[in-house]
Amino acid sequence: MGLTFFKNTVLLVALTIFSCGSSVEKKEQSEGIKENQESITNYEIEEIIVGAEQFQLYSDLLKGKNVGVVANQTSFLESEKQHLVDFLISNRIAVKKVFAPEHGFRGTADAGEHVKDGVDSKTGVPLISLYGSNKKPSPAQLKGIDVVVFDIQDVGARFYTYISTLHYVMEACAEAGIPVIVLDRPNPNGHYIDGPILEKENQSFVGMHPIPVVHGMTIGEYAQMINGEGWLNNNVKCALTVIKMQNYDHQKEYSLPIKPSPNLPNDQAINLYPSLCFFEGTFINAGRGTEMQFQVFGAPSLPSSKYPFEYTPQANEGSKEPKFKNQLCHGKDLRNEPRLIKINLEWLIDAYNVNGKKKDFFNTFFVKLAGTDKLQKQIEQGLSEEEIRDSWKEGLDGFQKVRAKYLLYR
């Protein structure tokens, strides 16, 4: 009996030790999982702090100076609920001129519409348009300015003209010996790089540099590339300062608090824009004249059997004369498409193949948007999306190496 008691006691102790060990192990695992989850959650909820919000980093560069600001409706400080220009003036910064890009200072003009000079009714600051015939600030317009601040939300596509405005501002300031401060903002399409590389002979305001359609850089990184690659006239160098963001990386999704232009109303439109903007170089309507801009496409001549979605473009903000105004279009609704991580060419290729007006499908603007005449020829020759994408590989590999030199974020 004593022996049996001893055996049972030993067994009980062993089981207790094993049980305690398992509990400790489970507790450690549980705490480890919890810690990892908290780490992931903290990473996900870390708020991106844009350059403009960090006044302490650039205030000393502006105090006592006559300041020019390149801005539009996206130049906004969420923390202050104020436009950058209003904020600077309230902090006794001498803002002497505001330079406005395409769509104007308040961002309401149509794409391609001439924006006039004027005076901001709220602040009394002179407004100078950098769109139309005056894309580059003149020496007279920069006279008396000691420093220029550039704060505009870009969307990461080569043909979105804010980076062309950036080029001309940097060039004019470099020639005048005026430093430029870029207040960096996220690139909502910064999670991928894609498209054909622009060829020099097809350079225009919708494509100024030898980069792919989707470049994967913030406006600050892009400014560094413009400077570093010698793209300014006569290889002049701009005295450039970039105020970096906090808590940003290129894979982090970012929802724009203010639409960057009248026809990019939401995140879906911004994500689809690099793919659907090619339709601007065809007779196909890309949603202009609707509230679904760059989220649908269509035309009266597309067959309803293949394109059952219907809509009728009408004049609205940002599109006074849309393609097929007041005409029923048959097309495709992309509002529920998953987030793109590459350019989609299938929509363009399919629309070309089935529309019945192949010889009238493309217009002269298409080559400017593509940055090369090869893409149109490839589609006309019947190449598949995969075959076309293969032809981009060498150029994209080369661009990746150049891009890496100027990245500020991982």
Quote the distance between the C-alpha of residue 369 and its chain's center.
16
Q: What is the pLDDT of residues 34-43, one digit of tens each?
A: 444 444 344 4
Same domain, 315 and 356: yes
Same domain, 229 and 128: yes
Q: What is the pLDDT of residue 45?
A: 60
Assess if residue 10 is contained within a domain.
no
Assess if residue 175 is contained within a domain.
yes
Same domain, 239 and 274: no
Same domain, 231 and 90: yes
Same domain, 73 and 210: yes
Assess if residue 289 is contained within a domain.
yes
Q: Which residue has the tokens 């192990």?
A: 25
Same domain, 104 and 235: yes
Same domain, 309 and 196: no
Assess if residue 387 is contained within a domain.
no
Count of domains in the chain? 2
Same domain, 235 and 280: no
Contact 70, 129 (CB under 8 A): no
Provide the residue range defining the domain that includes 180. 51-243
Q: What is the pLDDT of residue 14?
A: 43
What three-state secondary structure class fits 145? coil
Please state, in angstroms and rounded to a whole number, the distance separating the CA atoms of residues 275 and 392: 15
Query: Is the per-residue pLDDT at 258 higher than 90?
Result: yes
Same domain, 94 and 229: yes
Average pLDDT of the segment spanning 181-202: 98
Query: Is the per-residue pLDDT at 181 higher than 80?
Result: yes
Q: What is the pLDDT of residue 235?
A: 95
| CATH code of the domain covering residue 182 | 3.40.50.12170
Nearest by Cα to 245 from 186, 295, 204, 296? 186
Nearest by Cα to 285 from 294, 293, 297? 297
Q: Judging by beta carbons within 10 Å of its beta carbon (0-12, 13-18, 19+), is residue 122 exposed, middle or buried?
A: exposed
Q: What is the pLDDT of residue 46?
A: 87
Q: Which residue has the tokens 């026809």?
A: 263
Assess if residue 39 is contained within a domain.
no
Q: Residue 263 is encoded by which pair of tokens? A: 């026809």
Same domain, 189 and 314: no
Same domain, 173 and 287: no
Q: What is the pLDDT of residues 264-295, one digit of tens each?
A: 999 999 999 999 999 999 999 999 999 999 99
CB-based contacts of 111, cutoff 8 Å, min separation 6: 102, 103, 261, 262, 263, 318, 319
